[in-house]
Structure 1
Amino acid sequence: MSDQPMEKKRRLTLLLIIVVLQVLFLGGIATSYYAVGWFGTEIKIKTVPVDPRDFLYGDYVTLGYEISTLNPQLWRESANKPSQGEAVYVLLKPSANGLYEATGIYRSKPSTQAGEAVLKGTVDYSWDDLLRIEYGLERYYVPEGTGKELEREARNMIVRVKIAPWGQARINGLEEVTPS
């Protein structure tokens, strides 16, 4: 008879542990997203958007970056160039106009110097004269009703991206290119 209260106590303890682990897991996901904003380095990338609507999430702009379509000559590894679905790291350096440009593609994360950044991506496809890379930054959600307007204006847009030291990246905002 004395086993029943002990068994209930064990079950309650196990349930409590499971709930706490779930809360910690969800809190960790949320914290990692915000930590990019706190600790990340901001870079600017030239973009061209594509599509403005998602039935579940509302308006968005699909973004295509100049650094998404790269010359295979930027491949810095001795082995064969990467194949479709392979993870790669793209080394970015600021150009004279302040926008970041790709200067190298690697299989493992390269070391950086001051002012440089590294974006992790996945090879979408690879041809003889072209590497197409996706970074997970191709979709940017905007307020309802503004997707189509942004799509028209986005030919003159720059994306501000925050990259955390551990490699996670997120879009921090869009800004218009000012004519010089």
Structure 2
Amino acid sequence: MSDKAVAGGSRRALLTTAIVLLQTLVLIGIAVSFYAIGWFGKDIRVRTVPVDPRDLLYGDYVTLGYEISRLNPSLWKDTARKPERGQPVYVVLKTGTDGIAQPVAAYGSKPAPQEGEVVLKGRIDYSWSEEVFVKYGVEKYYVPEGTGKSLEDKASRLIVHMKVAPWGQAKIEGLEERS
């Protein structure tokens, strides 16, 4: 066997190893980013209005609509452009005296939060002159089978406890019923 054949084979093996290692690192990165929300995220609570559909693969889930998903256009602080469908949006939330987070501003790029504020990243679903509707990626919450209907009945009394990471991604920690 020639030296060129041996060198070509070792390069191929090195390239294959590098590709497998890169794929493994990407998968680990995805998993770590999800857990990092819990490690570094700030706690917030928001009011919901759920609807109870069913997913054949995953079972019961509740579709959650949030008060913070309907923004007054006066909260939009990005003067360079108007809110457009599909555009990323960063909503600044501040916890009120009742313990519930309320939107205080919305930007097209990530602002620096002040003390006591959290920046939640979302995407504009649609907007018009009266309201801007935002989706945050936490509108679906899977529940034990058979419990979705009871949550639907409590829709007006639910509070969602979630963690928001410093980069704006959120994850639901649980639901609680308010009195």
* 2:46 is the alignment partner of 1:59: no
* Match of residue 116 from structure 1: 117
Q: Which residue of 2 aligns with 1:68?
A: 69
Is the Cα–Cα contact under 8 Å of residues 36 and 163 in structure 1 kept in the other structure?
A: yes
Q: Contact 1:49–1:151 at 8 Å: present in 2 too? A: yes
Query: Do the aligned partners of residues 12 and 89 (structure 1) sit closer, same or farther apart at CA in structure 2, a change above 3 Å counting?
Result: same
TM-score (structure 1 length as normaliser): 0.92
Q: Do 2:90 and 2:168's aligned partners in 1 also have CA atoms closer than 8 Å? A: no
**Equivalent-residue separation in structure 2 for 1:41 and 1:31 (angstroms):** 17
Per-residue CA deviation, residues 57-94 of structure 1 (Å, 9 max, x unaligned), is: 22111000001111111112324531111111111111
Query: After the TM superposition, which of the residue ranges 137-146 and 95-104 deviates more from structure 2?
Result: 137-146
Please tell me whether the aligned partners of residues 92 and 103 of structure 1 are also in contact (alpha carbons under 8 angstroms): yes
Moved more, 77-86 or 25-34: 77-86
TM-score scaled to structure 2, two decimals?
A: 0.93
Q: Do 1:72 and 1:81's aligned partners in 2 also have CA atoms closer than 8 Å?
A: no
- How far the C-alpha of 1:30 sits from its partner, in A, is 0.1
Shift of 1:164: 1.0
Aligned mates of 1:154, 1:174 — CA distance in 2: 11
Distance (Å, rounded) in 1 between the aligned partners of 2:123 and 2:166: 19
Deviates more, 1:71-80 or 1:114-123: 71-80
Aligned residue number for residue 161 of structure 2: 160
Q: Is the 8 A contact 2:120 2:168 kept in 1?
A: yes
**Percent identity (aligned):** 57
